[in-house]
Amino acid sequence: MEFPSKTIRLQSILFGPGHCGFQVTFQGEDEEEARYLHDQFIPLGPILLALTAATPIYRGYLADTDVRWNQIANAIDDRPLRETQANGGTEIPPPRRWSANETYISTSPNLRPSYQRSPLPINESAKEALEAAGMDPILAYHYAHVLIRDPLIISEADAANTDDSPDNHAHFESLEGTIWPHVRFKLPPHDDDHIGWRVEFRAMETQLTDFENAALAVFMLLVRLAIKRYTLDFYIPIERVQENMERAHPRDAVRQERFWFRRDVLGSKGDKEPSSGDEEEAALMSVDEIVNGSDSFVGLLPLVERYIKDTGLDDDRPDVLRPYLQLIKGRADGSLKTAARWMRDFVRSHADYQHDSYVSEIICYDMMKEVEKMLAGSRDGGMFVVEGSK
């Protein structure tokens, strides 16, 4: 039986920020390292979004997507119509507040101007003021783009604070805090000397079990350490990253889609010479190739394993990290289901399902009972028990 396509309307901002998001934050040794880490995380965002897909159901209906990102972006898109369309082709419409990153910010020589998206709408007076105060042009351009907006959410305390002195950070935090890229560069708080320059990786989706979430956090930590040790270079044109974010949305994108990724992430430290052209440097790869490697690409997981070996990280307890890395490997090669795939398969195989996208209360209840068994360790559903699962 054929059913007409339907739109699932999410009529509350509760479907927005925080919805199924799993974030990890890392502190750099200094500003320079944090800015480079920020940039290297940007191309990883869409890959980890597809790998962690866990949001196929909204308001009791199966959606035609597996991840949350664009749904959140739409839930808090406050742009009027005049801002969503270019004015006769002469003005650049601002992006949604919740979006893939628009700028790289590192001063590394690996960052070529052609990797940046240009031009972008910026606050020219803010850029001039930031540069006059000593901020370098790359970071000033980034914040001048952030400062094209008004704050979306202001607390009562901030609203009551009318102090416009340079020492008042509340206004800046209200502005920056209501722009949500998939990787955020976080300045040290003005009132805490123990917290430094940080990078928040926001693309991943929350999993059903603590084990899975721990595996993702550990994997990202190891990738972060490998980036530093081997000076890894993941730069691709930022438009390719934004295209990849769209590629991460369809059903089972982790197995079905291909993503732009840099061919040689080791640069002069690898076996190949760096490519001469930006287009030649990136290729379409599957998540399996990007994570597990192939004949033509080293792979994120092999780089992590090289780091573990070179540093002797698991010499004393080699069994601690292996289950986490096996989970990542299985999710990438498709032998282990994403949470989204598991939920979709459960709904479609349930006796109460009428193949009309409707997830009834009976189906929802039975699914939650299965999740409860999963959390208790009595069921795995092919999701995270590696040996023998398909």
Cα(12)–Cα(216) distance, integer angstroms = 29
| pLDDT computed for residue 269 by the predictor | 46
The answer to the question of residue 88 being in a domain is yes
The answer to the question of residue 154 being in a domain is no
The total of other beta-carbon atoms located within 10 Å of residue 136's CB is: 12
Sign of the C-alpha dihedral, residues 339, 345, 350, 354? positive
16 and 186 Cβ atoms separated by less than 8 Å: no
Q: What's the distance, CA 192 to chain centroid?
A: 27
The CATH number of residue 189's host domain is 3.30.590.20
| pLDDT computed for residue 274 by the predictor | 46
SS3 238: helix
Give Rg (Cα) of the chain: 22
72 Cβ contact partners less than 8 Å away, ≥ 6 residues apart: 15, 16, 17, 19, 21, 98, 180
The answer to the question of residue 167 being in a domain is no
Q: What is the DSSP letter of 98?
A: B
**Structural domain count of the chain:** 1
Closest by CA position to 72, among listed 24, 150, 19, 23: 19
- Which helix (H) or strand (E) segment holds residue 183: the answer is strand 183-186
The answer to the question of residue 164 being in a domain is no
At position 279, the amino acid (one-letter code) is: E
Instruction: Measure Cα distances from 129 to 28, 125, 170, 197, 295 in Å.
Output: 26, 6, 18, 22, 50
The total of other beta-carbon atoms located within 10 Å of residue 142's CB is: 24
Both structure tokens of 261: 């990724």
Sign of the C-alpha dihedral, residues 53, 59, 60, 64? negative
Both structure tokens of 359: 């997830």
Q: Outline where DSSP puts E strands in 4-140.
A: 24-27, 57-58, 61-62
291 Cβ contact partners less than 8 Å away, ≥ 6 residues apart: 47, 51, 299, 300, 301, 328, 329, 332, 333
The answer to the question of residue 127 being in a domain is no
Is the preceding omega at residue 119 within 30 degrees of 0, hence cis?
A: yes
| pLDDT computed for residue 194 by the predictor | 85
Per-residue pLDDT tens, the chain, 390 aa: give them: 445 567 888 777 776 666 789 999 999 999 999 999 999 999 999 999 999 999 999 999 999 999 999 998 888 888 888 777 755 555 677 888 889 999 999 999 999 999 998 889 999 999 999 999 999 999 999 999 998 887 777 777 766 766 666 555 666 777 787 889 999 999 988 777 789 999 999 999 999 999 999 999 999 999 999 999 999 999 999 999 999 999 999 999 999 999 999 999 997 544 444 444 555 799 999 999 999 999 999 999 999 999 999 999 988 887 889 999 999 999 999 999 999 999 999 999 999 999 999 999 999 999 999 999 888 875 555 565 443 333
Cα(205)–Cα(46) distance, integer angstroms = 11
Q: What is the DSSP letter of 113?
A: G
pTM of the model: 0.91
Q: What is the DSSP letter of 188?
A: P
The answer to the question of residue 153 being in a domain is no
| pLDDT computed for residue 89 by the predictor | 53
The answer to the question of residue 173 being in a domain is no
Secondary-structure breakdown of the chain: helix, strand, coil percentages, each rounded to the nearest 5: 45, 10, 50
| pLDDT computed for residue 74 by the predictor | 86
Structural domain that includes position 32? 22-101+181-266+281-376
